[in-house]
Amino acid sequence: MAEHEQADGSGEALPLPGADHPVAQPVAQPDWHAMPRNQRLAAHKVECNACPVLCQISEGKAGACDRYANQGGALVRVDPVLLLRQRVDAAGGAVAAADADADAAWAGALVPFAAEGAAPLPLLAGEPAVFVTAVGASTTYPDYKPAPFIVSSLADGVDMVTVVTEGIFSYCSLKVKIDTDRWLGPEQANVRCQGEVVGHVTTAEYGSQMLSLGGVHHITGGSKKEGRITVDMMLRLGNQQAVDLHIDGGAQVLVQAGRAPVVNGRPESRMRVGCGSATVGMFAKQFVGQVDEVVVIDDHITGVLSQ
């Protein structure tokens, strides 16, 4: 982890622990805070422009979201930027491109986390030392600001550039893929959590039902209760906890990352591998020589394969 102060997109040196090729990108930029959008800003306050709330923050205080603060008249991001070690041990679910055993043992986590206090593992040759996350990186909002961290590194002799920026709460949303063949509800139907509208049913993809959850209309556009429940719902889903959702005119679904959905009280145990097009594309060659004719019936695309 590296403490950092700048929250205004003005560029920052980022020492990468253990990296062979740490390169910072301190780019001289104009002072983005020279012109606060509220011209009546009191002299002892700074205006945070990292989201549309535009908090005016007194010296020593934090803004409404506790992410930005006024430190000696400068706007600072209060959390450190989070860098993860790329490699964890196989028991924890290793992901290391050069380590076939680790790949085989990978438990499925997209970004592996080492246990707090775990001893650092030796890095493999050519392996990037760290995984640069956007957590604590600060934002580009408003969008004319450059990315707060532009990090270059070398992996297996290949130059890599990682650009990270932190999303702002008000625009956070999730697209949730529900692996079920069951009809969940009509497209555009409201999705509710604890009675509040937190999203809608959107276009099915890959043979799965898709929900669009969160977003600015539910987080800031409705009642405070709607906003709170929407953010809590996204937080719980993001932390792999179960969330109960109701679709207007449709099903009740218990959703949890990494677990099969429970639709109207019935845990899902199997579903088709994809839409009709996927079935034809994936299995056409395997059918050759096994059967004379195959009819793939699907509610999206129907295929007929004849020898």
Q: Would you tell me which residues interact with ligand SF4 (CB under 6 A)?
A: 48, 50-51, 53-55, 63-65, 67-68
In whole angstroms, what is the distance from residue 271 CA to residue 181 CA? 6
Between 220 and 277, CB nearer to ligand SF4: 220
CB of 269 to ligand SF4, least distance (A): 43
Residues paired with 196 in a beta bridge: 193
DSSP tag of 142: T
Q: Give the burial class of 34: count Cβ atoms within 10 A of its Cβ; 0-12 exposed, 13-18 middle, 19 or more buried.
A: exposed
Between 67 and 87, CB nearer to ligand SF4: 67
CB of 243 to ligand SF4, least distance (A): 25
Residue type at 79? D
Tokens matching residue 289: 């020589």
- φ/ψ of residue 298, rounded to 5: -145, 155
CB of 41 to ligand SF4, least distance (A): 13
CB of 51 to ligand SF4, least distance (A): 3
Shortest Cβ contact with ligand SF4: which residue? Answer: 63
| Nearest residue to 4 (alpha-carbon basis) of 141, 112, 151, 111 | 151
Between 50 and 201, CB nearer to ligand SF4: 50
Q: Reduced to 3 states, what is the DSSP secondary structure of residue 101?
A: helix
Q: Is the dihedral of CA 46, 50, 55, 58 positive or negative?
A: negative
Between 69 and 94, CB nearer to ligand SF4: 69
Tokens matching residue 225: 């209760």
CB of 53 to ligand SF4, least distance (A): 4
37 in Cβ contact with 142 (< 8 Å): no
Between 62 and 84, CB nearer to ligand SF4: 62
CB of 182 to ligand SF4, least distance (A): 40
Between 170 and 279, CB nearer to ligand SF4: 170
CB of 160 to ligand SF4, least distance (A): 29
Between 53 and 174, CB nearer to ligand SF4: 53
55 in Cβ contact with 78 (< 8 Å): no
**Chain centroid to CA 103:** 22
In whole angstroms, what is the distance from residue 251 CA to residue 224 CA? 26
CB of 235 to ligand SF4, least distance (A): 16
Between 47 and 294, CB nearer to ligand SF4: 47
Number of separate helices (H) and strands (E) present in the chain: 4, 18
In whole angstroms, what is the distance from residue 138 CA to residue 63 CA? 14
In whole angstroms, what is the distance from residue 210 CA to residue 200 CA? 9
